[in-house]
C-alpha cells in the first residue's frame, strides 16, 4: 500500500473534521452499476470446482521466491524493471502461442529513462460480441523500503507480502484458466501496475487510457497483500474508494467459495491502485489480507520476507480471484 503522505499530491489529505462524502464529492457522481451484481445468483460452481482444486501453494511459493530473489523491485531501480520483465516472461510461457492472449509491457517514460519499471497487461480475449466487455484483476508490481526511503536504489526490499503475494496470485489464476482451456465470453485482463508506492503511477496511466479510449470495463479487482493472515484468517473488504456493489458481490463470493469470513475495513485514503480506477468511475473492489490497522507490520521493511507469509492465505485469494473472474465472465 502507498502511504498517505506520498499520496497527498494526488488525493487531498484526510481532515478528520470533514466527512468522507464532503472530502470526496466525486463519490456522489459515482455511476450505479445494476449491470450484474444486484440479487444475482452465482452460477459457476460446477466450472469452478476443478479449477479451485488445481490451485498450488507450491506454485505460489515458487512465484514469490522468484520475485524476492531480486534485491528490490523499486520503481526507479534496474531490478524493478528486470523483475517485471521476468514476471511477464512467465505469462508468455503459459500463453504459448495462443492468438487470443496478448502480453503487453506498457512503458511509462520515454527512452531517456529506459531502466524504469513498465506495467504489465495480459489480455485473454473474450468471444463474440461480449469480448468488448472487460473484467480486470490488477496488483502492484513494485515495492519500497520505507526505512531508507529507497534513497539508494540498491537498498533491499524483499516485499514478499507487499506485493510479491498479489503478483503470485494473479499469475496462478492465469495459469489455471489457460491450462484448463477456459474460454471466457468477456475479455479478462491481468495487470501488474508499475510504481504503486510512488503515486499509483501504472494504475493512473492504465485507467486514464481506458477512460479516454472508452474501454467498457465492467469490474476491477484490486489485489495487494494477500498472504499475511493475522491471528484469525479472514478477508477484509476495503470499504472506501471502492464500489459497494462490488464489495457486496465479493462478500457473496467469500461466503460461497472460501473457508473464512469477511469483514469490512476502511483505509481512510486512496491507499492502493483501486483509487485510480474509482477516481475515473470504474467499479472496483479490494479484498485485503487482514483488517487495516492489524495488517502486516513488516510491509515496506527489509523484514517483509517469505518466512512471514502464508501460502494457504494466498490460496484463498487465488480462489477468490478465479471466482470473481468466472462468475463475471462466463454468463450472457
> By the criterion CB under 5 A, which residues form the site for Zn ion?
1, 162
CB of 41 to Zn ion, least distance (A): 36
Place of cell 444486484: 38
Which residues, listed in sequence order, are joined to residue 122 by a DSSP beta bridge? 103, 190
CB of 165 to Zn ion, least distance (A): 11
Name the phi and psi angles at 272, rounded to 5: -155, -170
Residue closer to Zn ion by CB (options 1, 67) is 1
Let me know if 15 is exposed, middle or buried by CB neighbors in 10 A (0-12, 13-18, 19+).
exposed
CB of 85 to Zn ion, least distance (A): 21
CB of 293 to Zn ion, least distance (A): 15
Query: What Å distances lie between residue 252 and 16, 42, 76, 245, CA to CA?
Result: 32, 9, 39, 11
Q: Interior CA angle at 34 toward 31 and 39, to 5°?
A: 140
Beta-carbon contacts of residue 116 (< 8 Å; ≥ 6 apart)? 75, 76, 80, 81, 107, 108, 109, 194, 195
Residue closer to Zn ion by CB (options 140, 285) is 140
Residue closer to Zn ion by CB (options 184, 225) is 225
Residue closer to Zn ion by CB (options 1, 177) is 1
Residue closer to Zn ion by CB (options 1, 227) is 1
CB of 301 to Zn ion, least distance (A): 11
Per DSSP bridges, beta strands 262-265 and 216-222 are unpaired
Amino acid at each position: 500500500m502507498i502511504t498517505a503522505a506520498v499520496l497527498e499530491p494526488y488525493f487531498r489529505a484526510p481532515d478528520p473534521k470533514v466527512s468522507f462524502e464532503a472530502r470526496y464529492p466525486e463519490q456522489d457522481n459515482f455511476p450505479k452499476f445494476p449491470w450484474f451484481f444486484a440479487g444475482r445468483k452465482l452460477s459457476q460452481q460446477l466450472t469452478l470446482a476443478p479449477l479451485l482444486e488445481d490451485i498450488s501453494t507450491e506454485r505460489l511459493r515458487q512465484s514469490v521466491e522468484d520475485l524476492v530473489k531480486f534485491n528490490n523491485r523499486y520503481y526507479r531501480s534496474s531490478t524493478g524493471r528486470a523483475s517485471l520483465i521476468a514476471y511477464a516472461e512467465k505469462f508468455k510461457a503459459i500463453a504459448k502461442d495462443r492468438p487470443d492472449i496478448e502480453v503487453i509491457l506498457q512503458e511509462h517514460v520515454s527512452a531517456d529513462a529506459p531502466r524504469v519499471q513498465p506495467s504489465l497487461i495480459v489480455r485473454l480475449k473474450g468471444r463474440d460480441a461480449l469480448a468488448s466487455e472487460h473484467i480486470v484483476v490488477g496488483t502492484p508490481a513494485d515495492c519500497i523500503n520505507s526505512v531508507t526511503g529507497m534513497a539508494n536504489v540498491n537498498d533491499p526490499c524483499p516485499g514478499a507480502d507487499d506485493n510479491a503475494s498479489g503478483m503470485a496470485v494473479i499469475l496462478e489464476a492465469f495459469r489455471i484458466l489457460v491450462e484448463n482451456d477456459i474460454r471466457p465470453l468477456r475479455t479478462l485482463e491481468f495487470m501488474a501496475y508499475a510504481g504503486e508506492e510512488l503515486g499509483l503511477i501504472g494504475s493512473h496511466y492504465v485507467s486514464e487510457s481506458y477512460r479516454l479510449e472508452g474501454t467498457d470495463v465492467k469490474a476491477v479487482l484490486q489485489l495487494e497483500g494477500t498472504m499475511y493472515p493475522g491471528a484469525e484468517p479472514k478477508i477484509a473488504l476495503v470499504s472506501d474508494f471502492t464500489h459497494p456493489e462490488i464489495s457486496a458481490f465479493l462478500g457473496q463470493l467469500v461466503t460461497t467459495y472460501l473457508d473464512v469470513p469477511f469483514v469490512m475495513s476502511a483505509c481512510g485514503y486512496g491507499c492502493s491502485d483501486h483509487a485510480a480506477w474509482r477516481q475515473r468511475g470504474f467499479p472496483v473492489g479490494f479484498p485485503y489480507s487482514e483488517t487495516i490497522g492489524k495488517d502486516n507490520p513488516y510491509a515496506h521493511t527489509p523484514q517483509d520476507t517469505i518466512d512471514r507469509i502464508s501460502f494457504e492465505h494466498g490460496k484463498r485469494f487465488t480462489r477468490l480471484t478465479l471466482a470473481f473472474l468466472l462468475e463475471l465472465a462466463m454468463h450472457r
